[in-house]
Chain A
Amino acid sequence: MTDTLKELCSLYGVSGREDSVREYIVSQLSPDCEYSVDNPGNLLVFKKGRKRPKNTVMLAAHMDEVGFIVTYVTDDGLLKFDNVGGIDVSVMTGRSVRVGERLIPGVIGVKPVHLLKEEEKKEFPERDSLYIDIGAKSRAEAEEFVLPGDCAYFDSDFVTFGDGLIKARALDDRAGCALMLRMLADELEYDTWFAFTTQEETGTGGAQAAAYTIDPAYAIVLETTTAADIAGVEGEKRVCELGGGPVISFMDKRTVYSRELYGAAFEHAKANGIKAQAKTQVAGGNDAGVIFKSRGGVSVLAVSLPCRYLHSPSCVIKESDMQETYRLVKLLAEDFSVR
């Protein structure tokens, strides 16, 4: 699964530009999978199981990632840009990036610390003051390489480190995609739908269309969620912990999750010796927020990998959490098929 994840994280795809991720996933599908690509770009995969389910179950993970989009090229050849998805200015300043169709290198510049006034040292720069520098001397030179509307990404490699940890960009939500690909490579007990969705980071539009088309009774959203288990943060403020297994949400900013399914997740975990943990803050949101409201309503559950430094160049997850999550999700999908 780690190798697949590494491949997925080597691909670039902000919201609305998920093509290369989708192409890779299609290339990994076994011949017995049926798939289609809808107008928003969702990849909808159906795989037959040994048995027909009582209920239609849909697993969902989003293909897009947060990044940047070039809005303007200055006379000096610098690129002004906007965010695609939520990225805090604190993880942008002084970072290297890849820009445009050709993924040319650039950097997000900062005024040198030596020249800052005392006041300026205390605050991150204004988002609008930032620019990407690709080394161009003029607008004309820059536009040979990049045009407004081109996208940019953090330039951050895939690193395994520490005690089984992975650092990369775009783990949100290529980790969810990797989990679904792993399931698709298995024999399934019941027929199951897998939605690789688009545009989660910019408003969950893809999932809304996917849920309409697939029309599930139950959905499991596979995600990554903020883990604040770092030095100096205690108790519920940690939200969840790396190594604690899949994170089960009871509520976030977009969804109140099915209490029944939330309970079922912990029952299965306990009965099968799988680690699982509750998300201890009502924070964040994901595709579940539109899936549960689809058509006449869908029972949803979010199962997430704990992830430190989400939406930064250095997202960090733990390999063992992926294994535990995989085991749990497989059991849950089977349960929901006949519930």
Chain B
Amino acid sequence: MRSTEEFKKLIFSLCDSNGVSGDEEEAAAVVSRELSRFMPVKTDTLGNVTGERGGCKTHILLDAHLDRIGMIVTSVGDDGFIMAAPCGGVDRRVLPAAGVIILGKEKVFGVVTSTPPHLSKGGKEVPDFDAFSVDTGLCGDKAKELISPGDRILLKTNQRRLIGSRISSAALDNRAGVAAVLRCLEMLEDKKSDCKLTVLFSVQEETTGGGAKTGSFSSDAAESITVDVSFAASPGIPAEKSAPLGNGVMIGFAPSLCREMSKELVMLAEENSIPYSRDVMGGGTGTNAESVAFSKGGKRAALLSIPIRNMHTPVEVCDVEDIENTARLMCAYIMKKGGVVND
């Protein structure tokens, strides 16, 4: 099993790969390589990465979305400035003067324009998306040679180690979830569980939700655990919608989620001294959990979330311990369902 330090490096490298919604190829290659350490891996029509491992007991699907938010080029101007649209829920408040990478024929650095002070009238208003453009510093011809409509744009991030076990990077949503699934598979390696396992690293969660819908349709799993990120406590966020960073895994309770599974996860967390909190949602979970729960004839579905701060910005923050604890709980569940006692 990787050391904590090596695991941090894995998280950073997962977050570092591209894979803006609908264009997940690069990230898919990275996770395929990781996943193939544990089981045979396939890529399906939409680009979902799936792996399957045989077993005689409960068939469990582990799902984490692979894509990240970003932008998509809509036109390239004669002046070398790029117009773009959001690809997923981009926070416009973090765009002015932000560095970006345009994934054209080659990677092109650019800066999102910001309204100069003499034109902003001192206002606090966030400009509409179409008031922004991306400054490539190139002449129109060169820009058009390298960049085409449909190319994706990433907000540039500084991957940093903060104090203790906390880190900052873009794309922790949801590479943190992907990392938790991979960590769980590592933990299972020296244990014996007879569960049949399907792993689904799904595409397009941030845009269409189509990845989890089609990917889970292809699986006959009886149960599923979706791993995603949720809100960590920070100023201005209601306590009931968040969990403190570093306080462990968030176990979801919602109408679409299987109550028995949620309760069993709580029980296992208690038994194994895994820190956790209850993440209660009155309606939809805003994750893949629903598409998985209702795919085919339906699956018993659970949701585990990793709390992060500043979601959908280039400075997402998480506590690596929370990812570890998410993996531990998933592992405990899979052992409980398929563990061989007194072998």
Contacts from A to B (Cβ < 8 Å) = 78, 88-91, 93-96, 104-115, 121-125, 129, 131, 133-137, 141-142, 145, 155-156, 159, 161-165, 167, 226, 228, 230-233, 237, 239, 281, 283, 308-310, 312-314, 316
Contacts and interface: CB of A to CB of B under 8 A. Distances in A.
B166 A135 contact: yes
B93 A115 contact: no
A111 B110 contact: no
Identify the interface centre among A96, A131, A233, A281: most chain B CB within 10 Å of its CB. Answer: A96
Contact of B109 (A78, A125, A161, A281): A161
A145 B163 contact: yes
Contacts of B133: 230-232
B286 A114 contact: yes
Identify the interface centre among B117, B163, B231, B286: most chain A CB within 10 Å of its CB. Answer: B163
Interface string B92-125: 1110111100000000111101111111100011
A77 B202 CA distance: 36
B236 interface: yes
Interface in B191-215: none
B163 A96 contact: no
A75 to B, nearest CB: 12
A283 B91 CA distance: 30
A283 B122 CA distance: 13
Given A112-B310, A162-B80, A141 B163 contact: yes
Contacts of B163: 104, 134-136, 141-142, 145
Nearest to A161: B109
Interface of B: 77, 79-81, 83, 89-94, 96-99, 108-111, 113-120, 124-126, 131, 133, 135-139, 142, 157-158, 160-164, 166-168, 231, 234-238, 241, 245-246, 286, 309-315, 317
Nearest to A238: B116
A110 B117 contact: no
Contact of B93 (A90, A135, A312): A90
Contacts of A312: 96-97, 114
Contacts of B161: 105
A123 B315 contact: no
B126 A124 contact: yes
Contacts of A95: 94, 98, 315
Contact of A114 (B139, B157, B311): B311
A230 B315 contact: no
B99 A167 contact: yes
A313 B90 CA distance: 19
A131 B91 CA distance: 18
Contacts of B96: 88, 90-91, 309, 312
B42 to A, nearest CB: 32
Given A141-B163, A167-B99, A308-B135, A88 B237 contact: no
Identify the interface centre among B90, B93, B120, B133: most chain A CB within 10 Å of its CB. Answer: B93
Contact of B89 (A89, A93, A106, A113): A113
B124 A124 contact: yes
Contacts of B116: 226, 228, 230, 233, 239, 310
Nearest to A164: B137
A113 B119 contact: no
Contacts of A308: 111, 113, 135
Nearest to A283: B118
A105 B241 contact: no
Contact of B139 (A141, A163, A281, A316): A163
Contacts of B241: 115
B236 A129 contact: yes
B142 A163 contact: yes
Identify the interface centre among A121, A124, A230: most chain B CB within 10 Å of its CB. Answer: A230
A88 B118 CA distance: 12
A90 B313 CA distance: 14
A164 B116 CA distance: 22
A107 B81 CA distance: 28
Given A110-B313, A123-B124, A162-B136, A94 B93 contact: yes
8 contacts: A90-B97, A90-B120, A111-B234, A113-B312, A230-B113, A283-B118, A312-B97, A314-B99
A96 B315 contact: yes
A228 B109 contact: no
B147 to A, nearest CB: 12
A281 B110 CA distance: 26
Contacts of A313: 97-99
A91 B115 CA distance: 10
Nearest to A281: B118
Contacts of B160: 96, 105, 107, 155
Contacts of B317: 107, 109, 133, 135
A89 B312 CA distance: 18
A228 B168 CA distance: 32
A233 B237 CA distance: 38
A78 B236 CA distance: 13
Given A105-B168, A135-B167, 8 more contacts: A94-B93, A112-B91, A115-B237, A123-B124, A136-B163, A141-B164, A159-B109, A231-B77
Contacts of B124: 89, 123-124
